[in-house]
Amino acid sequence: MEDNKEGMKASVNAASAEIENNEAVRHLEANADEELRVTERTIELLRTVFDPEIPVNVYDLGLIYKIDYEVADKTLHVDMTLTAPGCPAADFIMEDVRQKLLNVEGPEKIDLQLVFEPTWTQDMMSEEAKLELGFL
- DSSP assignments along 14-59, one per residue: HHHHHHHHHHHHHHHHHHHHHHHHHHHHHHHHHTT-B-TTSSSBTT
pLDDT of res. 46: 98
User: Which pairing describes strands 75-80 and 64-70: parallel, antiparallel, or unpaired?
Assistant: antiparallel
Task: Give mean pLDDT, residues 40-58.
Answer: 95
What's the N-to-C CA distance of the chain in angstroms?
A: 80
CA distance 124 to 61: 7
CA distance 121 to 41: 25
What range does the domain containing 33 cover? 2-132
Q: Above 70 in pLDDT, residue 15?
A: no
Q: How confident is the model at residue 63 (pLDDT cuts 50, 70, 90)?
A: very high
Task: Give mean pLDDT, residues 19-35.
Answer: 71
pTM, two decimals, is 0.79
CB–CB of 107/101 below 8 Å? yes
Please state the domain count of the chain: 1
The CATH number given to whatever domain includes residue 76 is 3.30.300.130
CB–CB of 29/36 below 8 Å? no
pLDDT of res. 32: 86
